[in-house]
Amino acid sequence: ATQPLAPGAVLLRGFARAQEVQLLAGVEAVLAQAPLRHLITPGGFRMSVAMSNCGRLGWVSDLSGYRYDASDPDSGRPWPAMPAAFRELAAAAARAGGFEGFAPDACLINRYEAGTRLSLHQDRDEGNYDWPIVSVSLGLPAVFLFGGPKRSDKAQRVPLAHGDVVVWGGASRLHYHGVLPVKEGEHPLTGACRINLTFRRAG
Ligand code: MD3
Ligand code: FE
């Protein structure tokens, strides 16, 4: 089912379910080349979410700031290529959300273990806000916080389950958002964690 969340934001319940095995195989292949790591924020805090990337550009953070970079700072090598199953799913979801021709150049892989959270923030490091962000949830469920254009705007709580995909475009693209602490659990495909894939046109 397709559910509008806000102008420009569409929740596609279970959209990635048919590709779950290919997507998780892609995650494993990418992580074998570019392992998950806990980045440091510009303020000096270790992020509780563990991250890696694939595609031409990857999102990184360190004491000097946030940016997209073509190479993995841990290895000095380019990020692994985006698996075909990733590109195809992101383009199909964007199309379903009203964005034809979405060709992401960056995929951030976020891993949440029990207790991991992502505090309220905006995604403002990309070159162009006309393309949407496509996010794919795999494994343990989470409650997503979807706010407004100001940090103080009241946030709606959106439960996201395995296979759910959200297309965040238009007016919602710069809204504040975050993830509440993930509850303990066990998922047959991912074990004790939630994996989120976030596709962007960053360059
Ligand atoms: C709403 N990740 O990596 S994806 C992030 O579940 C991030 O890992 C979360 O926020 C996660 O930056 C949420 C959903 C998402 C991504 C970008 C958005 C929602 C958004 C941009 C604007 C509004
Ligand atoms: Fe974000």
CA-nearest residue, atom 12 of ligand 1 = 123
With a cut of 90, say whether residue 27 has pLDDT above it: yes
Q: Which amino acid is at 169?
A: G
Kindly report the backbone phi and psi dihedral angles of residue 28, in degrees, each rounded to the nearest multiple of 5, phi listed first: -60, -45
Whole-complex ipTM? 0.94
Residue count of the chain: 203
Please determine, for residue 199, whether its predicted confidence score (pLDDT) is greater than 90: yes
Q: Which residues contact 201 (CB under 8 A, 6 or more apart)?
A: 102, 103, 104, 105, 106, 126, 127, 128, 131
Distance CA 81, CA 78 (A): 9
Environment of ion ligand 2 (residues, CB < 5 A): 123
- What average pLDDT does the segment 26-48 reach? 97
- Going by pLDDT thresholds of 50, 70 and 90, the confidence category of residue 11 is very high
Residue located via tokens 């380019």? 78
- Number of Cβ within a 10 Å radius of residue 176: 19
pLDDT at 32: 98
> Is there a contact between 97 and 131 (Cβ–Cβ < 8 Å)?
no
Q: For residue 17, report the phi and psi dihedrals to the nearest 5 degrees.
A: -60, -40
Q: Is the CB of 133 under 6 A from ligand 1?
A: yes
Q: What is the pLDDT of residues 93-132, one digit of tens each?
A: 999 999 999 999 999 999 999 999 999 999 988 878 999 9
Give CA–CA dist 71/191, Å, rounded: 29
In the sheet that holds 133-139, the strands lie side by side as: 2-6, 9-12, 165-168, 133-139, 193-200, 106-113, 50-54
Q: Within 10 Å of residue 17's Cβ, how many Cβ atoms? A: 14
- The best mutation among 11, 128, 168 to test binding of ligand 1, ranked by most ligand atoms within 8 Å of the C-beta, falls on 168
Which tens digits make up the pLDDT trace of 54-71? Answer: 999 999 999 999 999 999
List the one residue out of 20, 16, 19 whose CA is nearest residue 187. Answer: 20
The pLDDT assigned to 168 comes to 95
What are the tokens at 114?
Answer: 């029990």
Tokens (6 digits) for 177: 């958002």
Query: Ligand 1 in contact with 52 (CB < 6 A)?
Result: no
**What are the chain's domains?**
2-200 (2.60.120.590)
pTM for this predicted structure:
0.96
Tens-place pLDDT, residues 130-172: 999 999 999 999 999 999 999 999 999 999 999 999 999 998 9
**For all residues of the chain together, what is the average pLDDT?**
96
The pLDDT, as a whole number, for residue 123 is: 92
Query: Which carries the bigger pLDDT value, residue 192 or residue 127?
Result: 192
